[in-house]
A = this chain, B = another copy of it.
Amino acid sequence: MKFGKGIPITATAEEMASRQRAISVSEFFEKNRHLLGYDNKAKAMLMIVKEGVDNSLDACEEARILPEIYVGIKEMGPDKHEIVIRDNGPGIVKEQIPKIFGRLLYGSKFHRLKQSRGQQGLGVSCAVLYSQLTTGTPATIISSTGDGRTHRYQLKIDVARNRPDVIETSAEEGEIWHGVEQRFVAESTYRENKQSVLEYIRQTAISNPYCNIILDCPTGHKEFKRGVGQLPAEPQEIMPHLYGVELGVLCRMLAATKARTILSFLTSEFSRLGKTSATEILLKAGITKNNNTLKPIPDTKLKPSRVSDEQARAIIEAVKQVKLVRPPLDCLSPLGTDLIKSGLVKELNPEFVTAVTRPPEVYRGWPFQIEAGLAFGGSIQSFSLMRFANRVPLLYQGGICAMTKSVQETDWRRYGIQSNKGIEEPLSIFVHMCSVWVPFTSESKESIANYDIIVREIKLALQECARHLSLWLSGKRKHAMLTKKKSTFEKYADETAGALSAMAGMPKDAIVQKILDIIKRKWEDMHGEQVEGEDTEPGPGSDQAAGPEGEPEHNASG
């Protein structure tokens, strides 16, 4: 059946053809800048600071340098600020500066599997794009790699071509230093609320407690000092795991590989795939040298370039039937319970703190790991949830985030934590996901997609933390009850003694003393019992329920 027979209207199809054009990725995101998080002027300021600081921290950590980050925000006019981000990282080599800052979809982090803050190749170039769009001002980048030369670039993005447009460049000899300074002038508003630059820096100081951060902003000079003097372990880059590779990607890898045989391709380009499993996959995929179904011989020497689409599809199907070793999980670099607790204590000054690091897990072939922390009481006044992905605070779109969902679906009352429509306690919840590829729900990287396994892991971490808090709370509440009882007895000691003195003809003072002695003895008995039975008196920053290393035990989950 064909529709629309017989009416020639070629003109229209040709008219339409004449209007077809390519769209540069810069044009696309310029018109759709809300997709990148540049929805409004307050958020725009946050995004620029975030992209700059995230890149600085990534670079410092990769070069194993304890980060010193400076953020400066200076008003330049109504709703217009100069934003400066400076670091002590390794610097950027001269030739790369225009490409990194002047081109969308360019970078080192998209094509590798390694835990890092950036992963899309979009971030900082979008800050340049937004700045020039709103104020016409080029970005200024100053960098040195420690060779005594300081390079300075002023650049914009040529939007129609998505290429850097270098306005001015100069080099200076002399000073030996390394690092990068980025300057943007953008339409933006400075605010101090729960989704502001200040909150982002504060939370960054919590999740990166090995970092010194200085913030110079319209409300003054603020310093966030490091709480620990050591970087966490460096995350390792891994190869893709066959379990998460889709057919189209496999076909591309087959066409591009330098491996000479299908067997060496499989064992060298995928994570943890040995000869035995690879051979089993070939057999199950029917990639054999003979047609003997009883005794098939796998065609291990087949050239990768000669693998047909049909055979590639059979490999993907076979993978589902073969039990493969999981991807290496030591590629992740979680913060660990000590760093989490250190960050929470340093910035929140709570009465109680606890943290849990779950064992690594895998979603769609990508390793990930969940950590959680709870900080209770002390300087904390009300409930808050802090979400982090690869150590970066997530401040927007909490409503659709897997972390919010997990907190909402946890039965906090089971743990003695008052909760009605929301948690009604002075409690800060810290949730951190680290992964070689965080499944963000948008380019603006503000919330994490609801994969079942991710939600489950977050819930398990929260439950474990909640158990610790519950034990401490019940100790604290028992202690409070006993104290109240004791003071009631003490209050009535005098009156009781008066009555007893009249009846027994003994001096009242002696009776008062005896009653107080009894109360004291009972108090000590009960208190001693409590120490052994449940939990000690609460102390600031303690984590009584955790194991000997402050790291509670947990079961590996399926």
A95 within 8 A of B: yes
A252 within 8 A of B: yes
Interface pair B108/A3, CB less than 8 Å apart: no
What residues of chain B lie closer than 8 Å to A28, measured between beta carbons?
A: 105, 110, 120-121
| A3-B99 in contact given A13-B145, A246-B134 (Cβ < 8 Å) | no
Q: In whole angstroms, how far apart are the Cα atoms of A6 and B65 in the complex?
A: 13
A91 within 8 A of B: yes
Interface pair B248/A134, CB less than 8 Å apart: yes
Interface pair A105/B247, CB less than 8 Å apart: no
A83 within 8 A of B: no
A547 within 8 A of B: no
A59 within 8 A of B: yes
A160 within 8 A of B: yes
Within 8 Å by CB of A20, from B7, B12, B100, B441, lies: B100
Interface pair A17/B136, CB less than 8 Å apart: no
What residues of chain B lie closer than 8 Å to A95, measured between beta carbons?
A: 17
What residues of chain B lie closer than 8 Å to A292, measured between beta carbons?
A: none
A175 within 8 A of B: yes
| Shortest Cβ distance from residue A177 to the other chain B in the assembled complex, whole angstroms | 5
A 402-426 to B, binary, CB cutoff 8 A, 1 in contact else 0: 0000000000000000000000000
A 126-157 to B, binary, CB cutoff 8 A, 1 in contact else 0: 00010011111100000001110000000000
| A93-B17 in contact given A23-B110, A146-B7 (Cβ < 8 Å) | yes
| Shortest Cβ distance from residue A421 to the other chain B in the assembled complex, whole angstroms | 12
Interface pair A103/B13, CB less than 8 Å apart: no
A191 within 8 A of B: no
Interface pair B178/A4, CB less than 8 Å apart: yes
Interface pair B105/A9, CB less than 8 Å apart: no
What residues of chain B lie closer than 8 Å to A68, measured between beta carbons?
A: 3-4
| Shortest Cβ distance from residue A77 to the other chain B in the assembled complex, whole angstroms | 10
Interface pair A449/B91, CB less than 8 Å apart: no
A159 within 8 A of B: yes
A442 within 8 A of B: yes
User: What is the total number of copies of this protein in its complex?
Assistant: 2
Within 8 Å by CB of A13, from B31, B70, B90, B105, lies: B90
A 369-413 to B, binary, CB cutoff 8 A, 1 in contact else 0: 000000000000000000000000000000110000000000000
CB-based nearest B residue for A439: B34
A39 within 8 A of B: yes
| A20-B179 in contact given A248-B136, A449-B34 (Cβ < 8 Å) | no
Q: In whole angstroms, how far apart are the Cα atoms of A65 and B91 in the complex?
A: 60
Within 8 Å by CB of A175, from B2, B9, B16, B175, lies: B2
Within 8 Å by CB of A89, from B4, B14, B248, lies: B4
A176 within 8 A of B: yes
Most B CB atoms within 10 A — which of A8, A24, A252? Answer: A8
Interface pair B3/A249, CB less than 8 Å apart: no
| A23-B121 in contact given A34-B439, A90-B16 (Cβ < 8 Å) | yes
A 85-114 to B, binary, CB cutoff 8 A, 1 in contact else 0: 011111111011001100101111011100
A170 within 8 A of B: no
Most B CB atoms within 10 A — which of A30, A107, A110, A246? Answer: A246
| Shortest Cβ distance from residue A467 to the other chain B in the assembled complex, whole angstroms | 32
A313 within 8 A of B: yes
Interface pair B105/A312, CB less than 8 Å apart: no
What residues of chain B lie closer than 8 Å to A96, measured between beta carbons?
A: 17, 20
A5 within 8 A of B: yes
Q: In whole angstroms, how far apart are the Cα atoms of A344 and B110 in the complex?
A: 47
Interface pair B247/A136, CB less than 8 Å apart: yes
Question: What are the 4 A-B residue pairs with the smallest beta carbon separation, nearest first?
Answer: A4-B88, A3-B88, A133-B248, A8-B146
| A-B contacts, 16 listed (Cβ < 8 Å) | A4-B178, A5-B177, A6-B176, A9-B146, A10-B145, A13-B146, A13-B178, A19-B108, A23-B105, A23-B111, A25-B105, A27-B110, A32-B120, A132-B247, A133-B247, A137-B309
Interface residues of A (CB under 8 A from B): 1-10, 12-14, 16-17, 19-25, 27-28, 30-32, 34-35, 39, 59, 62-63, 65, 68, 70, 86-93, 95-96, 99-100, 103, 105-108, 110-112, 120-121, 129, 132-137, 145-147, 159-160, 175-179, 246-249, 251-252, 309-310, 312-313, 399-400, 437, 439, 441-443, 449
A2-B86, A4-B89 known; 9 new pairs, CB 8 Å cut-off, are A2-B179, A3-B86, A4-B87, A17-B96, A20-B99, A22-B103, A22-B106, A28-B120, A31-B437
